[in-house]
Chain A
Amino acid sequence: MVKDLANNAMATDGQKACLVIDHLVEALGNDPSSSLRRALILTDIDHHPGTTQAEIMARMDLHKSALNREIEWLFNYGCIMMQDSAKDARTKTLHVCGYSKKGLDSALEYFKSDHQKLKNFIVLYTKVLRQEKPTLRDAKILAYLYNKKVASKAEVLNNLYDAPTTTDHRAFGEILNAGVIKGVQDAA
């Protein structure tokens, strides 16, 4: 805890962004292909312990089918647990649990445990990426480059997560094609 606080105080914003994304990956079953939307839903559930799917839909303006898929994934991976609602037997309340809670708490330390700030961080990266369904891997590419300013493609890919090389190359290529990152000679 003290070590984390010290690291937080000394890290640059770019380093902190990398660490936040790493903790979100931990919180989502070590799956860097998890979407930022999934990370946002997990954060929202932790922000409102005991919330229901209907409440999440209203807060995040999500379609029911999209939310159902994400809730099912989070439950199957042990990120959340469901309990019967004391108010309404037809609904389930949702709670973040286990390793997800630990990973999320670690990410929240960089925002003084303010869930809204973490949500805004995730939304900001989603906006910058300009993709239909950006992933935590995509966000890590941006955070790494924000921290390093200039890096080789190999260096960026080496600092991603354990995944097939083709997956990393594809993610990098899509961000490059979208113009979010540029070759150094094109950047000026």
Chain B
Amino acid sequence: MLVTLSKEAEMMLAKAFDQTPSAPIAADFKHSVGIPAVFSRDPAPGFDPETAQPA
């Protein structure tokens, strides 16, 4: 069985040694390891911002 990286993974890994030195890590890391993020108070598109119900 021959395998290769997905295009998306390959494009992301191409940046592994070409990064901004001072980029913050906490927010990205929190999401990437499955720690629940604080939910946004903004309702999803199609929902009423006042009632948070479908418009």
Q: B residues within 8 A CB of A121?
A: 16-17, 19
Q: Residue B55 at the A interface, CB < 8 A?
A: no
CA distance A118 to B23 in the complex (A): 11
B22 to chain A minimum Cβ distance, whole angstroms, is 6
A127, B28: Cα distance in complex, Å: 8
Query: Nearest CB to that of B28 among chain A residues?
Result: A123
User: Which residues of B (3-47) have their CB < 8 Å from a CB of A?
Assistant: 3-7, 9-10, 12-17, 19-23, 25-30, 32-35
A117 close to B19 (CB less than 8 A)? yes
Is the interface on chain B under 10, 10 to 19, 20 to 34, or 35 or more residues?
A: 20 to 34
Contact of A183 with B3 in the complex, beta carbons under 8 Å:
yes
B33 → chain A closest CB, angstroms: 6
Interchain nearest-CB distance for B18 vs A (Å): 8
Of A85-93, A100-108, A173-181, the one touching chain B: A173-181
A62-B3 contact, Cβ under 8 Å, with A13-B17, A110-B17, A116-B23? no
Inter-chain contact B16/A124, CB cutoff 8 Å: yes
A179 closest partner in B (C-beta): B6
Report A91-135 residues with CB < 8 Å from chain B CB.
110-111, 114, 116-117, 119-121, 123-128, 130, 132-133
Are B35 and A60 in contact, CB atoms less than 8 angstroms apart? no
Report the minimum CB–CB distance from A112 to chain B (whole Å): 9
Chain A residues within 8 Å of B1, by CB: 152-153, 183
User: In the complex, which of the residues B3, B10, B21, B23 has the most CB atoms of chain A within 10 Å of its own CB atom?
Assistant: B3
Q: How far is the CA of A156 from the CA of B3 in the complex (A)?
A: 9
Minimum distance in angstroms from A125 CB to a CB of chain B:
7
Interface residues of A (CB under 8 A from B): 13, 16-17, 37, 40, 59-63, 66, 110-111, 114, 116-117, 119-121, 123-128, 130, 132-133, 142-143, 145-146, 149-153, 156, 176, 179-184, 187
Nearest first, the 9 closest Cβ-Cβ pairs linking A and B are: A132-B34, A61-B26, A184-B2, A126-B32, A120-B19, A127-B32, A153-B1, A146-B13, A150-B4
- What would be 8 A-B contacts, judged by CB atoms less than 8 Å apart? A13-B14, A124-B13, A124-B19, A128-B12, A142-B13, A151-B4, A181-B4, A187-B4
